Amino acid sequence: MARKPRIDLAGIAQHLIQRGNNRQACFFTDDDRRHYLKWLGQAAEKYGGSVHAYVLMTNHAHLLATGAEAGALGRMMQSLGRRYVRYVNSRYQRTGTLWEGRFRSCLIESDQYLLTCYRYIELNPVRSNIVARPGEYRWSSFNCNACGKMDDLVTPHETYLSLGKTEATRLLAYRRLFRDAIDNHDIKTIRDHVNQGKVLGSELFRNSVEAILDCRARLSAPGRPRRKKVL
């Protein structure tokens, strides 16, 4: 069966997930994570991708990124994935699949939808009970976006920049977003949309994407319940 084309538009941010096969580890040491981030930056520069937020967990990675043109992020992730697999197979004397199929993605409308996705990504280590606070986790963009730590990989999104006129006011406003945990409904909504590859945003935004791409951009409705057999 042919793969369904991705919902992809130039200049619109996307939430991307690259997961280890069968949810097994894809990062084994800090060196692995450093190589992944270095090659992500190189691929982003080569193919026209801008990374706004990221987190590297043991068996998957979350990215928030924008492509300069349609297909840019796909080329970026394909290049990164292949290069990293070659590295892992060589270093650990292994063969076979590392990734669980192709990466998952969904378009994100700017404003609150995008800021919620920022939080969702950078709070992953907290939800997984690895750390108590996001700033304690080394392999994410939180300390860049919230504390101003230099990170060459991160490019601020316009929505992030709109949080304040100065860096100090933006950082403060961003940290305030993390005072409360993300609502469980919002967590489920983000997961459902990226798993189905649909558009996360308002009805107006989804309608606009559907009109431009001539495709369905909203979640599939739950299937009809099976009729019980009459015994």
Q: What is the pLDDT along the chain (231 residues), one digit of tens a residue?
A: 457 789 999 999 999 999 999 989 999 999 999 999 999 999 999 999 999 999 999 999 999 999 999 999 999 999 999 999 999 999 999 988 899 988 999 999 998 899 999 999 999 999 999 999 999 999 999 999 999 999 999 999 999 999 999 999 999 999 999 998 899 999 999 999 999 999 999 999 999 999 999 999 889 766 544 444 333
Domain assignments of the chain as residue spans, ordered by start: 13-213
Of 170, 184, 198, 26, residue with least CA distance to 98:
26
Alpha helical stretches, state H, 48-137: 72-91, 112-122, 124-127
Specify the CATH number of the domain 13-213.
3.30.70.1290
184 φ, ψ (degrees, to nearest 5): -60, -35
Of 27, 26, 17, 101, residue with least CA distance to 62:
17
Question: How far from the centroid of its chain's Cα atoms is residue 43's Cα?
Answer: 16
pTM: 0.92
3-state class (DSSP) for residue 52: strand
| 49-56, strands of its sheet edge to edge | 49-56, 60-67, 13-19, 104-107
